């Protein structure tokens, strides 16, 4: 067969007949890689094999789930592992993805039978050493070091395990695809094979995926569309805490959050993260504010810290950690225009403590009050939490899940909440002060 040469973007999967310096699909530079196809790519068969059926005639069954032995992971998955599901786990190198999945493999082996752990990065001896260290030893846990996808497929069909874990998708290759492991064609084909196995046999499959420098999953975007669930394992390498976040879940809600602590014996669940984050909070210090955040169904109290100081250069510096930079810049513009804080000649550094990443608008008010507190060198009231979205005109907008947020705040001893005025009549969990504008919020939290 005549060889066919194409160039595929390693970021988005766009294909071109010739090499291009910039991908026309995603705009990334130097991502086009040559791929040669000598044989037609194996066509993935249909998952059902039957014709169209009226939706009213389809018989549904109750959804069965397997507990993983880690309640935080079960929360993120929506209640446990669904048979036949394909779960993608991504994260930075060394963050603990392999450790997490090895603990899950041992727990599933003890509950549902044989679990096949396939590694394309480590030998079976290296995996055994980690398993001994974290106590993940079980006779039903089968280890295999292999990168040939056809060999892995054959072993799965012959051994019929109850679950499969592949570490990682970028290290395996399918022989009928001539491109290198980790390329767009290889990742797409290997994932399609795993998807067919999972749906056809009912075996849940966990797949580890590498991430890019920007923190997104490496490979084509179609990888995330093919799987049922996408989990991100986040955290700072110099901190012991790890956050498992779901961004896609066909069997549960998205934006769920699980928190772990990395120890010598493996990952340990943090069942009350709010109390953990509040233990080391300084009292009566300017620039500190508390937000009762809501991650999926879990309320989480997070401290926002801000430091505002005169700039030594012509252009003031802005830095954020765990918060959206553009959102913080917008809030600072509202503070300057609507409250009269002259921040244009001051540097501002804003951070969410504990390695947590906040992207919900409900954190706007806490960010604004932390910046105002640091600028005025006046601490906020004790036992105070802040929640609300800040608009461009300075108004405070309502947010969802207020009951859950205030229940969590009251449980940890907070006495007062400042938030949107529209919630004033319906909430009596703790003392509630409703405000309509950012100016009222600053006066209520610090006084005139």
Peptide bond into 79 cis (omega under 30): no
Q: What is the CA radius of gyration of the chain?
A: 25
The packing angle between helices 184-201 and 149-159, to 10°, is 10
Q: State pTM to two decimals.
A: 0.77
Q: Residue 309's beta-bridge partner residues?
A: 347
SS3 328: helix
Please state, in angstroms and rounded to a whole number, the distance separating the CA atoms of residues 81 and 207: 13
The pLDDT tens digits for 241-287 are 888 988 899 988 887 888 899 988 899 998 888 877 777 777 789 99
**Whole-number pLDDT of residue 50:** 62
**Whole-number pLDDT of residue 239:** 75
Q: What are phi and psi of 224, to 5 degrees?
A: -70, -30
A 10 A CB-CB count for 52 gives: 6
Query: Stretch 168-185: mean pLDDT, rounded?
Result: 87
List the binding residues: 91-98
**Whole-number pLDDT of residue 427:** 60
> Terminal CA-to-CA distance of the chain, rounded, Å?
81
Q: What is the dihedral of CA 146, 149, 104, 162, to 10 degrees?
A: -110
Query: Stretch 99-104: mean pLDDT, rounded?
Result: 95
Check: CB of residue 439 under 8 Å from CB of residue 426. Answer: no
- Whether the pLDDT of residue 143 is over 50: the answer is yes
Q: Measured over all CA atoms, what is the biggest interatomic distance in the chain, rounded to whole angstroms?
A: 81
Give me the percent of the chain exceeding a pLDDT of 90. Answer: 55
pLDDT confidence band for 312 (50 / 70 / 90):
confident
**Whole-number pLDDT of residue 278:** 77
pLDDT confidence band for 9 (50 / 70 / 90):
confident
Token reading at 138: 């079980």
Please state, in angstroms and rounded to a whole number, the distance separating the CA atoms of residues 163 and 214: 31
- Whether the pLDDT of residue 191 is over 60: the answer is yes
Please state, in angstroms and rounded to a whole number, the distance separating the CA atoms of residues 26 and 11: 8
Establish how many alpha carbons lie within 13 A of residue 363's alpha carbon, considering only the half-sphere containing its beta carbon. 28
**Whole-number pLDDT of residue 361:** 94
- Whether the pLDDT of residue 336 is over 90: the answer is yes
- Whether the pLDDT of residue 91 is over 90: the answer is no
**Whole-number pLDDT of residue 6:** 82
- Whether the pLDDT of residue 406 is over 80: the answer is yes
Kind and range of the H or E element at 275? helix 273-279
Q: Residue 396's beta-bridge partner residues?
A: 390
pLDDT confidence band for 213 (50 / 70 / 90):
low
The pLDDT tens digits for 41-64 are 444 444 555 678 898 888 776 668
Separation of CA 133 from chain center: 27
- Whether the pLDDT of residue 103 is over 50: the answer is yes
- For the ranges 8-12, 223-227, 375-379, the maximum mean pLDDT occurs at 375-379
Query: Stretch 107-121: mean pLDDT, rounded?
Result: 94
- Whether the pLDDT of residue 332 is over 90: the answer is yes
**Whole-number pLDDT of residue 10:** 76
Question: For residue 445, with 0-12 CB atoms within 10 Å meaning exposed, 13-18 middle and 19 or more buried, which class applies?
Answer: buried
Fill in the DSSP letter of residue 183.
S
Token reading at 48: 């059902």
SS3 147: coil
Establish how many alpha carbons lie within 13 A of residue 44's alpha carbon, considering only the half-sphere containing its beta carbon. 16
SS3 321: strand
List the binding residues for ATP: 91-98
């Amino acid at each position: 067969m005549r060889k066919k040469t194409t160039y595929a973007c390693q970021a988005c999967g766009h294909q071109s007949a010739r090499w291009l310096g910039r991908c026309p699909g995603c705009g990334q530079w130097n991502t086009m890689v040559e791929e040669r196809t000598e044989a037609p790519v194996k066509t993935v068969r249909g998952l059902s094999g039957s014709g169209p059926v009226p939706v009213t005639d389809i018989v549904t069954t109750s959804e069965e789930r397997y507990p993983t032995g880690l309640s935080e992971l079960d929360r993120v998955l929506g209640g446990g592992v669904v048979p036949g599901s394909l779960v993608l786990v991504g994260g930075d190198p060394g963050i603990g993805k392999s450790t997490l999945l090895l603990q899950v493999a041992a727990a599933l082996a003890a509950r549902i039978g044989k679990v096949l752990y396939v590694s394309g990065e480590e030998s079976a001896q290296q995996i055994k050493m980690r398993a001994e260290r974290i106590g993940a030893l079980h006779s039903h846990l089968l280890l295999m070091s292999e990168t040939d996808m056809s060999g892995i497929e054959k072993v799965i069909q012959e051994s019929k395990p109850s679950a499969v874990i592949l570490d990682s998708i970028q290290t395996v290759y399918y022989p009928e695809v001539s491109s290198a492991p980790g390329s767009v064609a290889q990742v797409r084909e290997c994932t399609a094979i795993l998807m067919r196995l999972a749906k056809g046999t009912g075996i849940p499959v966990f797949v580890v995926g590498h991430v890019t420098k920007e923190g997104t999953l490496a490979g084509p975007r179609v990888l995330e569309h093919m799987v049922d669930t996408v989990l991100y394992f986040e955290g700072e390498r110099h901190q012991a805490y790890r956050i498992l976040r779901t961004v896609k879940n066909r069997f549960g809600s998205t934006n769920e959050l699980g928190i772990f602590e990395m120890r010598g014996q493996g990952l340990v669940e943090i069942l009350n993260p709010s109390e953990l984050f509040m233990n080391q909070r300084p009292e009566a210090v300017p620039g500190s504010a508390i937000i009762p955040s809501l991650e999926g169904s879990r309320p989480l109290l997070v401290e926002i810290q801000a430091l505002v100081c005169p700039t030594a250069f012509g252009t003031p510096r802005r830095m954020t950690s765990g918060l959206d930079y553009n959102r913080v810049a917008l809030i600072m513009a509202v503070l300057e225009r609507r409250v009269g804080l002259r921040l244009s000649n001051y540097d501002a550094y804003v951070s969410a403590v504990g390695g947590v990443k906040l992207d919900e608008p409900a954190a706007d008010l806490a960010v604004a009050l932390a910046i105002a507190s640091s600028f005025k060198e006046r601490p906020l009231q004790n036992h105070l939490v802040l929640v609300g979205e800040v608009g461009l005109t300075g108004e405070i907008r309502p947010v969802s899940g207020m009951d859950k947020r205030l229940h969590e705040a009251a449980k940890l001893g907070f006495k007062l909440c400042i938030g949107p005025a529209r919630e004033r009549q319906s909430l009596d969990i703790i003392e509630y002060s409703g405000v309509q504008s950012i100016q009222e919020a600053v006066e209520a939290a610090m006084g005139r």
